[in-house]
Chain A
Amino acid sequence: MTQFLQATVAGLSLASIYMLLALGFVIIYKSMRVLTFAHPAVMLFGAYMVSWLAIDMELGFWVALAGGMVAAGVLGWVAERVAIRPMVGKPLFAIAILTLGLDIAIRTPINNLIGVNIRSVGDPWGFGTWNVGSVIIQHRSVAMIAAATIVGTLLLVFFRYTRIGLAMRATAADQEVALAQGISVGRIFSLAWVMAGAMAALAGTFASSDLSGLTQSTYLVALKALPAIVVGGLDSIGGAVVGALVIGMAEAYTATYQGQYVAFLGGNFSQVIPYVVLLVVLLIRPYGFFGTKEVERV
């Protein structure tokens, strides 16, 4: 039982990271129907900026975190303006492939900056733990779950009760009609990328706050958020949350139990379990559990 609860806590904290990333994917997808594969690069850049500001510049973690989120938001904004905006109206595949190129072009210089050593993001949680009964809860897990909950709630409030949130929902529903109502759709695109970038930086910082730190391969975390949005459905915010929970839990439980019960699947199988879940879900529901089934008119 202790082992199960322990795995649940680990799963929830993983799910928080995936949720922050998945929400970014979904916000961009809903606003401009673009699936970005450049998210890993944006996340890595944000996490690196946090690390650079906190460790090299000695600004303190919270200032660095804010700085990193702003920097990643700006990077998202620039990427959208320079590379994605000229492609509006082109086939979806072309834009998806373009973001793959964008990811490589951005990530390579950042890899150079990160170097080969493990970097710390200078987070204040360290390895501090609380003991609740026999379950050990890391401070960083609590911080991650709290942050994801707060961001999720803020987004909900933002979309439901603010003018800009309403404008974003209108754009997601129909771009032309939104334009006709006086909404600057271009600005909504930019805002979507900025929001996604900032959330990615937060996620990247959390992902780098454990023992493994910030390395060149931290970007793989962002790709594992893709199964989460597919499980939920590409265009569903609620689905992204559920998907992140499913993927995070699956990964944590696999990491805990797979070695005991199905060891033949090999070491580190938990790293690929998100893709197994993806395959199974797509077999059953080709549009995810909460995604809109495309109805095509001829």
Chain B
Amino acid sequence: MRGRPSLHTRYEADSAMLPTATQRLWFVVGLLAVVVLPLWLPRDWMILIATAFIAAVGVIGLNLVTGYAGQVSLGHAFFLGIGAYAGAALGGVATDKVIGLGLDVIIWVPAAGVIAGAIGAAIAPVAVRLKGLYLAILTLGLVFLGEHLFREWESVTGGPGVGRKPGSLTLFGWHFDQDGTVGGFAVTREQQVYWLALVVLLIMGFLAKNLVRSKIGRAFAAIRDRDIAAEIMGIGLTRQKVLAFAVSSFYAGVAGALLFTVTGFVNTASFNLLLSINYIAMVVIGGGASIAGSVMGAAFLTLLPRMIDAAGNVLPFLEVGSTGLLSTSQLERVIFGVLIVAFLILEPMGLYGIWIRIRNYWKAWPFSY
């Protein structure tokens, strides 16, 4: 096979995580760049990128159920909320208003995922009976029921307007959320949170990639493409759909648990329909049925406000405040809405699809194919 590295003669080689040498090389280079980046980044950018990493975990989860298994869920905010509060209750500090067990991060992050996953699996039997748009409406209802639950369950959530602190990032006595020193080097709180988020994303991304290239992933795709055909091929629809919901909710739980450790505050109003739409938008803009696309979508939409802020300093009509046509935050919302519409009409494969097109163009260059 020497000299023909793209020729795969075995299934293992064909379905490898990074099938070509070029991909492996660039993955390592990119990873190194991302790892050393916080040594120079300003603090606010580190926070932003760490948020993007954690959001990417949630987006991967939504992509598993929506992009791969084809079940549209508008209820992701609900599961993010479950994860956030499960994490906060297990890993947070108890006060006179809210409960908190103060466990280690290695316990409460997976536990938050498992709790969210269990609730996802409990709801799934209702969901798997439904198809298409009925499912979308059901999961939309879930968000409103969740919001009500979070408002009322004050011993866990702190109640509306009050909120609470999320779980504290303590691993075997080491505090990620405080500045410290490692081997003589001073590391800031932001740097540690950044690296922690990166590690979580790598683990969860690796697991998801493995899932989707396995038998289960192929079953998900078969259900998405034609559920009746999938059933005839011997795929248990109920079983696989419940599994898809459970895994997706697990990812949402982990993401939700960590998402608010960056800002250090969980508010009950955060888990609304807009958050769900945000995640759906990240899947759509990043690219459905693609792990790399999920990360791209999460990064793009998390960094979008900063880019628009920067543009607002240049463009005169975007004045902040009531004098301008729209404030920058409102403009950001409008652009967000327009992006969803534009991507669905013009590029249904999302950013990942654009990347594939560019890559294929240069692969064949100077020929057109």
Question: Which residues of chain A have a CB within 8 Å of any CB of chain B?
Answer: 35, 83, 86-87, 90, 92-98, 100-106, 108-109, 111-112, 223, 226-227, 230, 234, 265-269, 271-272, 274-276, 278-279, 282-283, 286-288, 294, 296, 298
8 closest residue pairs by CB, A with B: A101-B340, A105-B337, A104-B337, A275-B141, A266-B152, A108-B333, A272-B148, A93-B72
A208–chain B nearest beta-carbon distance, Å = 20
Task: Report how many residues on chain B are interfacial, defined by Cβ distance under 8 Å.
Answer: 46
> A112 with B330: in contact, given A271-B148, A282-B138, A287-B134 (CB under 8 Å)?
yes
In the bound complex, do residue B345 and residue A98 qualify as a contact, i.e. CB atoms below 8 Å apart?
yes
By a CB distance below 8 angstroms, the chain A residues around B129 are 282, 286
Nearest-neighbor residue (CB-CB) of A92 within chain B: B132
With contact pairs A87-B345, A98-B340, A286-B134 given, residues A108 and B228 touching in the complex (Cβ less than 8 Å) = no
Complex interface residues of chain B between 113 and 153 (CB less than 8 A to chain A): 126, 129-134, 136-138, 140-142, 144-145, 147-148, 151-152
CA distance A93 to B71 in the complex (A): 9
Q: Note all chain B residues with C-beta closer than 8 A to A96.
A: 72, 133, 136
Q: Decide: A109 and B330 in contact? CB cutoff 8 A.
A: yes
**A49 → chain B closest CB, angstroms:** 19
Minimum CB distance partner of A83 in chain B: B341
Report the minimum CB–CB distance from A62 to chain B (whole Å). 32
- Given A87-B344, A296-B228, also A93-B136 (CB < 8 A): yes
Is there contact, CB below 8 Å, between A83 and B144? Answer: no
Interface with A: B277-285, B303-311, B358-366, which one? B277-285
Contacts of A282 in B (CB 8 A): 126, 129-130, 134, 138
Residues in A neighbouring B131, C-beta threshold 8 A: 286, 294
User: In the complex, A294→B129 CA distance in Å?
Assistant: 13
* Cα–Cα distance between A106 and B336 once the two chains are bound (Å): 11
Question: Which residues from A are CB-within-8-Å of B281?
Answer: 101
Whether A279 lies near B126 (C-beta < 8 A) is yes
- A108 and B133 contact, CB distance less than 8 A: no
CA distance A98 to B242 in the complex (A): 26
Inter-chain CA distance A296–B232, complex, in Å, is 14
Closest to B143 in A: A275
- Cross-chain contact A94 with B228 (CB below 8 angstroms): no
**What is the chain A residue whose CB lies nearest that of B330?**
A108
A101 and B145 within 8 A (CB): no
- Is B16 interfacial (CB 8 A cutoff)? no
